[in-house]
Amino acid sequence: MEKPITLKGRAVVIRDSSGKPIDDVDTDMIFHNRYLHIIDINEMGQYALDNLDDWKDFAKTTKKGDIVFFGANFGSGSSRQQAVDCFTALGVQALVAKSYGAIYKRNAINAGMPIIQSAIIDDKSLIETGDEVEVNLKTGMIKNLSKKKEHSNRGMSKVQMDIYKAGDLFAYAKNL
């Protein structure tokens, strides 16, 4: 099945209780090292963000198809693949962050998780949890259908798109 270029879903915006974007969310906050022995992706979702203040209930409150927005340097730290896979397990459609840790970015792209880089989280008038949003992976455009606002960003690169369309890095490699 052809992977969609436009994703529509509910926004979940990772700000703290005072409303500020949370920067430097590292891999221990996303998927704590006490769960590293877990290799079955179906078991990973329940622990997503359970070590992040204000968001410990993320796994319980998120819905399939959500698009999650983060601050700067998201996913810094270790190379654990589970920090990406836990979102896939919950049915999260895409991640949008102001910037990513280098290894996290590689892991997300290799796993076929669509990720976009955008500073939209800085502006509350543009995005809040619960808004209905549409993300165009090719152009990078984020449309907030609830607020009737738009925010342009850089789209996914060709390589990223190729891997995403194939499913993951290994599926992509089969067609080489």
Partner 1 sequence: MGQTVIEKIFSAHSKDEVKPGNIIWLDLDVRSARDFAGANVVGNLRKNYPEKSKFENKEKTVFTFDCVIPANNLGYAENQQTIRVFAEEEGIKLYDSEWGIGSHVLIEDGYSLPGTTTVGTDSHLNIMGCIGAFGQGMGDQDIAFGMKAGKTWFEVPPTMKIIIEGELKAPCSAKDITLAVIRKLTSKGSLGKAIEFEGKAIDNLSLPGRITLSSMVTEMGGIVGFIPPSDEVLKYCKERAKTDFTPQYADEDAKYVEEVVVDISDLRPLIAKPFKPDNVVEVESLEKDNIHVHSGFIGSCTNGRYADMKVAVDMLRDKEVAPKTVLKIVPATRRVLGDMIANNDLQVLFDARTVVSNPGCAGCASGQIGMTGKGEIQVSTGNRNFKGKQGSGMTYLCSPETVTASSIAGKIISPDNL
Task: Point out which residues bind partner 1 (CB under 8 A).
Answer: 79, 81, 102-103, 105-107, 109-110, 157-160, 163, 169-170, 173-174, 176
Q: Which two tokens stand for residue 57?
A: 């209930």
| Nearest approach, Cβ of residue 69 and partner 1 (Å) | 21
| Nearest approach, Cβ of residue 10 and partner 1 (Å) | 29
Nearer to partner 1, 81 or 88 (CB): 81
| Nearest approach, Cβ of residue 173 and partner 1 (Å) | 5
Nearer to partner 1, 148 or 174 (CB): 174
Nearer to partner 1, 145 or 159 (CB): 159
What amino acid occupies position 126? L
| Nearest approach, Cβ of residue 98 and partner 1 (Å) | 14
Nearer to partner 1, 34 or 170 (CB): 170
Nearer to partner 1, 62 or 81 (CB): 81
| Cα gap 81→3, rounded to integer Å | 22
Which residues are within 8 A (CB) of 102 and not within 5 positions of it... i.e. 6 or more apart? none
| Nearest approach, Cβ of residue 176 and partner 1 (Å) | 5
